[in-house]
Chain A
Amino acid sequence: MIEVRDLWVDLGDFVLRGANLDISAGEYFVILGPTGAGKTVLLESMAGLYPLKRGRIWLSGQEVTRLQPEKRGISIVYQDQMLFPHLTVRDNITFGLKIRKSSPLEMEQTLGWLSELLGIHHLLDRKPGTLSGGEKQKIALARALSVRPRLLLLDEPLSALDPNSREVLQRELRQIHEQYRVTTVHVTHDFEEAIALADRVAVIGDGSIQQIGTPEQIFRQPSSEFVARFAMVRNIFRGEVRSSCKNEDALFDVDGIRLAVVTEHRGRCHASLRPEDIIVSHAPFPSSARNSFSGAITGVTDKGSTLLLTIKVPPDFVCLVTRNSFDAMELSVGKQIYITFKASAVNIF
């Protein structure tokens, strides 16, 4: 679908050397990299908005390296939306259609479809200045989709939003993609966002693409120290959230065990847990923490003053302990121990 060959971007403090990308039609591709300049420029280069120093780009087999941005059929959504402040929401969304001189009927149909899809009917006559961050981002998305792009570029679309709208929009991005299969390239610095949305992830850092693979490959088998550090060895589970009948807690089912979690989310999703949030003990102990499991230590990674233990419950949990605790508790591979963590320490995404 889109092929990027030997792309060079030079921005002074950020340099990308010889990037190669192959993104297939219908794929949700996430480019993951540290915060800072560069990822935006990579997207703008694909869209033809940023002059290339070197490199070539193909879109559906057609070379577009020198093609004007308005002829590429690539839409972009920026982190800070960039809605046209002098136009109403309606005119923002239909901007591209008016340029194409679409018929009023077609415009109404597209507007109806997008308002339905994103639940933005009530916003159509407002000016962008009066909208919340989440609402603005939906409008920006609607505007980008209105022209039925061949490729949708999302530049940190969730980063500027409050946690609540972020969760909502992330779910909507997923749903829209499942429904319409628009080829999407999404850049972010947020590892969990990448895992939740991506079919495949490319990790960029130190001026080049470090690894490309499925989310599982990236966090199970990081190919370099950089990727591992960026992905941070941590516990990530894929499972399903159910309501609990007894109280307001939700339950997360994974590999036959149930974690108590705090979330409004229901259905299939991911859960993550930082290794340092897990308490290791020889025996179960009463506390306010809602999760306690027993398992065997199957691996120990020495990190100097700290150690990472892999504990098989059935899923593997990675826990961080200090060397002092490790020695005092006389831990070793094969030992049966208990792990305890709070429901609120589990992040659902």
Chain B
Amino acid sequence: MVKEWVKSNKLTLTFVLLGAIIFLFVIIPLFRMIFASEPGILRETLFDPEVTKAILLTLYTALIATGVGFVLGVPLAYLLARHEFRGKRIVEGLIDVPIVVPHTAAGIALLFVFGRNFLMGRVFGSVGIQFVDSTAGIVVAMLFVSVPFLIDSAKEGFKKVDVRLEKVARTLGASPWQTFFKISFPLAWRSILSGNIMMWARGISEFGAIIILAYHPMIAPTLIYERFETYGLTYSRPVAVLLILISLIIFVVLRTLVKGGRKGD
């Protein structure tokens, strides 16, 4: 009986085995780190002002980056989903470039535009906004590396909205703006929201581009790196654990919210 069952389910069994290996590979380091930390040290770290400041700064800057990405990225996503134009494939390809380049390289590229003596750096410098070693620099770096996630997700969301729904709205008297805000946007909202969550999460985890553009003020990933370099594993681990826990909780909560809303349809 068992033998026969095994025989007829060879593919499933093999895939379960392979799948289990990669699954454990992902979760074991995370769980080990979380459960190996002593609660005492963890609590101490939680009340370390430098740590809390870094974590709050990380969440805050990632949120700002997501906000900017939302305002500028959603319109582009809509254009890409609705219009055919020459060079569209190139635009779509270029948008995704930040995902594939090494992030330290991205940081250097940004420095060339937002550095004190370069184009955007000067323009913004004249109104008192600096990017090098500043919160604005962190936001710019996060925006650069994470906005493709939002644009891609929102674009897919808009594509799923039948263009004839918009056409019906137009015939009923809605202007293009009203049609966008009453039909297209609400119907693509879930994809846009999950794009926002992805973008925020990606912002929180960014390190490479940020240390090039703005090592200070220190965000959590930079703090972990610095403590590891200066004090070693013991002192960097609690900060890492905290950041993982906070990201995990936020991520799970937001995912549940997105999923929970879907049931209502």
Interface residues of A (CB under 8 A from B): 44, 47-49, 68-70, 72, 74-76, 78, 82, 84-86, 95-96, 99-100, 127, 129, 143-144, 146-147, 149
Contact = CB atoms under 8 A, between A and B. Distances in A.
B256 interface: no
A76 B174 contact: no
Nearest to B172: A96
19 contacts: A44-B167, A48-B170, A49-B167, A68-B175, A69-B167, A70-B170, A70-B171, A70-B172, A70-B174, A76-B171, A82-B164, A84-B165, A84-B168, A85-B265, A127-B265, A144-B172, A146-B172, A147-B172, A147-B173
B173 A49 contact: no
B162 interface: yes
A78 B164 contact: yes
A76 B167 contact: yes
Interface of B: 162, 164-165, 167-175, 178, 182-183, 186-187, 265
Contacts of A49: 167, 170-171
Given A99-B178, A127-B265, A129-B265, A82 B173 contact: no
B172 A75 contact: yes
A87 B17 CA distance: 45
Contacts of B172: 70, 75, 95-96, 99, 143-144, 146-147
A100 B171 contact: no
B168 A72 contact: no
B186 A100 contact: no
A75 B167 CA distance: 10
A117 to B, nearest CB: 18
Contacts of B173: 70, 96, 99-100, 147
Contacts of A149: 171
A144 B172 CA distance: 7
Contacts of A96: 172-174
B162 A82 contact: yes
A14 to B, nearest CB: 17
A95 B169 contact: yes
Nearest to A75: B171
Contacts, number: 64
B159 to A, nearest CB: 15
Contacts of A75: 171-172
A129 B187 CA distance: 14
Nearest to A94: B172
Contacts of B162: 82
B168 A82 contact: yes
A12 to B, nearest CB: 14
A97 B171 CA distance: 12
Contacts of A143: 168, 172
Most chain-A CB neighbours within 10 Å: which of B170, B173, B186? B173
Nearest to B189: A86
Nearest to A81: B168
List 3 A-B pairs, minimum CB-CB distance, nearest first: A96-B172, A69-B170, A99-B173
Given A127-B265, A129-B265, A86 B187 contact: yes
A48 B187 CA distance: 23
Contacts of A68: 170, 175
A95 B187 CA distance: 15
Contacts of B174: 70, 95-96, 99
B178 A47 contact: no
A185 to B, nearest CB: 13
Given A70-B173, A70-B175, A100-B173, A78 B168 contact: yes
Nearest to B165: A82
B85 to A, nearest CB: 15
Contacts of A85: 187, 265
Nearest to A96: B172
A154 B249 CA distance: 51
Contact of B171 (A74, A84, A86): A74
A44 B163 CA distance: 12
Contacts of A144: 171-172
A276 to B, nearest CB: 39
A100 B174 CA distance: 8
A100 B175 CA distance: 11
A48 B164 CA distance: 13
A47 B171 contact: yes
Residue from A68, A72, A86, A144 with most neighbouring chain B CB atoms (10 Å): A86
A148 B178 CA distance: 20
B162 to A, nearest CB: 6
B171 to A, nearest CB: 5
Contacts of B167: 44, 47, 49, 69, 76, 82
B20 to A, nearest CB: 37
Given A70-B171, A82-B162, 9 more contacts: A47-B167, A47-B171, A70-B170, A76-B168, A76-B171, A84-B169, A100-B173, A143-B168, A143-B172
Nearest to B169: A95
B130 to A, nearest CB: 44
Contacts of A48: 170
A335 B169 CA distance: 62
A76 B168 CA distance: 7
Q: Which residue of B165, B167, B183, B187 has the most chain A CB atoms within 10 A of its CB atom? A: B167
Most buried by A among B162, B182, B187: B182
Contacts of B171: 47, 49, 69-70, 72, 74-76, 144, 149
